[in-house]
Amino acid sequence: MITNQKMVFAKRPVGEPGDECFRLEEAPVPPLQENQILIKVCWLSLDPYMRGRMHDVKSYAAPMELGDVMVGESAGIVIQSTSDAYKVGDRVAAHMGWQSYIVANADDPRLMKVDLANGSLSAHLGVVGMPGRTAYFGLTEVGKPQPGETLVVAAASGAVGSVVGQIAKIKGLRAVGIAGGPEKCRYVKEELHFDACINYKAGNLAAELAAACPDGIDIYFENVGGDVTRAVAPLLNEGARVPICGYISNYNDEDIASAELPAHILAKLNPVPEHRFFVVTEWHDRWVEATRLLGDWVAEGRIKYRESIGEGLENAPRYFREMLTGKNFGKQLVKIADEEI
């Protein structure tokens, strides 16, 4: 009998989520019913939005309840099937939480079949997956880029920000990144070919940002919030657009309901720039289209990416904390099992 490991949400955190907020449980995998599949998880994605779901506050999605499997997406291989839609050996991405095996109904909308022609299985959790699609739709649909404009993106070496800046370059924009530390800034400028990248940890963000954006900022792709947003705000041109993807600097706040979020900062400007929070599910019907386009750009060398890989479901809480504080470099993944049936 196959045993499933799952990481459940055990306690709401105050500040950084400690080990006591997670509990690893084991249970036998039940036999498949009609039109079901069993997925052996190979890769787990860790993403900042997961921290928001640990808060007991209203948001775009309901908060997790204690005892729930930790929310998240994974990718793996179908090892059993009672469905005509999937066969053994198919690769699939599933938004069904932190676990080592997943039993799913074949028509569950949280499943997406993986075409390895678009990239590796792990890449379908990153550059051609949810983060890549988030970058693509957030920039093109909310940011509405025009050639010659200046884009600034925070967390520029991360899974979303790195793709935002590279798409901006493909679209003919000037791309300026903000990242933490000289190594990340070097990567963003020299390997991803942004026009500039500013180390926010160096202590002179506002001055360096102004120097890097002599014509102001037309699009600010928001991933961070806080002091980074405050530095960007005075440089926003009239007619600027601000897609708000997230604000990771606030996610570990003890009272996020009273925090000054990006929308609050932007609302103080005159004129107030066009801005809105968005989620990638708004374009769910176009996910396959975006994944194919991103895969083509990766294959052509126009988009590059980096993965930060940890090992073992039991270690996922530590990698999650490290991601929230920027210790990872690129897309944070946890390897759960080898890619074999």
Domains and CATH numbers, the chain: 3-126+306-335 (3.90.180.10), 130-281 (3.40.50.720)
Summarize the confidence of residues 257-278 as an average pLDDT.
88
3-state secondary structure labels for all residues of the chain: CCEEEEEEECCCCCCCCCHHHEEEEEEECCCCCCCEEEEEEEEEECCCHHHHCCCCCCCCCCCCCCCCECCCCEEEEEEEECCCCCCCCCEEEECCCCECEEEEECCCCCEEECCHHHCCCHHHHCCCCHHHHHHHHHHHHHHCCCCCCEEEEECCCCCCHHHHHHHHHHCCCEEEEEECCHHHHHHHHHHCCCCEEEEHHHCCHHHHHHHHCCCCEEEEEECCCHHHHHHHHHHEEEEEEEEECCCHHHCCCCCHHHCCCHHHHHHCCCCCCEEEECCHHHHHHHHHHHHHHHHHHHHCCCCCCCEEEEECHHHHHHHHHHHHCCCCCCEEEEECCCCCC
Q: Contact, 113 vs 139, CB < 8 A?
A: no
| Amino acid letter, 41 | V
pLDDT at site 251 = 64
* Residue 108 in this model has a pLDDT that exceeds 70: yes
Per-residue model confidence (pLDDT) at position 256: 60
Among candidate residues 153, 285, 281, the one with its CA nearest the CA of residue 219: 153
Query: What is the per-residue pLDDT across 32-44, written as a single tens digit (0 to 9) for each?
Result: 999 999 999 999 9
pLDDT digits (tens, 9 = 90+) for 60-107: 778 899 999 999 999 999 999 999 999 999 999 999 999 999 999 999
**Is pLDDT above 60 for 299?**
yes
Assign 254 a pLDDT band (cuts: 50, 70, 90). Answer: low
Cα→Cα distances 254→12, 197, 317, Å: 11, 31, 19
The torsion angles phi and psi of 267, rounded to 5 degrees, stand at -65, -20
pLDDT in the model for residue 147? 98
Is residue 151 within 8 Å of residue 177, measured between CB atoms? no
Size of the chain, expressed as the number of residues it contains: 341
**pLDDT tier for residue 229 given thresholds of 50, 70 and 90:** very high
Q: How far apart are CA 46 and CA 53, in angstroms?
A: 13
Confidence of residue 317 (pLDDT cuts 50, 70, 90): very high
The pLDDT mean for the chain works out to 94
What percent of the chain has a predicted confidence (pLDDT) above 90? 86
Q: Note the pLDDT of residue 101.
A: 98
How far is it, in rounded angstroms, from Cα 127 to Cα 115?
14
CA pair distance 138, 154, nearest whole angstrom: 14
As a whole number, mean pLDDT of residues 270-289 equals 95
At which residue do the structure tokens 């950084």 appear?
16
Residue 253 clears pLDDT 60, i.e. is over it: no
User: How large is the average pLDDT for residues 255-274?
Assistant: 84
Query: Where does the pLDDT of residue 211 fall: very low under 50, low under 70, confident under 90, or very high at 90 and above?
Result: very high
- Report whether pLDDT(290) > 90: yes
Q: Is the per-residue pLDDT at 50 higher than 70?
A: yes
Q: Is the pLDDT of residue 112 over 90?
A: yes
Taking the model in full, what pTM does it have?
0.92
